[in-house]
Amino acid sequence: MKRALAVLMFAAALAGTAVAQQITRVAVIDLQKVYLTYDKDSHAVRAFEEEKARVQDEIKRLGDEIKELQKKRLELQAKGDAVALKALDEQLYRKAQFLSDFIKVKQAEIDDKAKALAMSDSFAQALYRTIQSVAELDGYSLVINSRSADSVGSAVIWFSPMIDITDKVIQALLGASAGSP
């Protein structure tokens, strides 16, 4: 009897865990395609994306400078030039500190601009609400931009076209704009 009760309790606990676990569904969207479809309306959003890309380029440039100095440091270390090595270490420290501070400041600026854009730009608001609506209707928990304006490639390596909601969002925006005066 005790054994049957223990098995029953274990089965109930297992079933409870299975119900508690939710499968996360992911969708992708090509925001660049949406922006191009709504070229006139998306000007502010595109300008923001371009600014993010410029900041990303500057961060990459500063990072590349640090990498070059690190290569130079290895050469000096191999030569045993302690005086030049110490000077280079100080320069590396200053550049790394500058990069860290630059990233913090620019990230704060971008976050502030993103908030302002989301609150003031009607297209950005409509786009966000439309993406949220389409994602919720189709049962997605996460929507990822499949192509990023601030990188050559994308963080998404592969995705099934079945999860691409770009055209659904465009159609929903078209429907929303057709209904507005």
Whether 73 and 92 have beta carbons less than 8 Å apart is answered as yes
Domain ranges of the chain: 18-179
The predicted structure's pLDDT at residue 20: 47
152 falls in which pLDDT band (50, 70, 90)?
A: very low
Reply yes or no on whether the pLDDT at 131 is more than 70: yes
Q: CA nearest 76: which of 59, 88, 67?
A: 88
Dist. CA 73–CA 76, nearest whole Å:
5
Reply yes or no on whether the pLDDT at 23 is more than 90: no
The predicted structure's pLDDT at residue 98: 94
Q: Rounded to two decimals, what is the model's pTM?
A: 0.59
Reply yes or no on whether the pLDDT at 18 is more than 70: no
Q: CA nearest 163: which of 134, 133, 128, 127?
A: 134
Whether 131 and 140 have beta carbons less than 8 Å apart is answered as no
What are the tens digits of pLDDT across the range 51-84? Answer: 988 999 999 999 999 999 999 999 988 998 889 8
4 falls in which pLDDT band (50, 70, 90)?
A: low
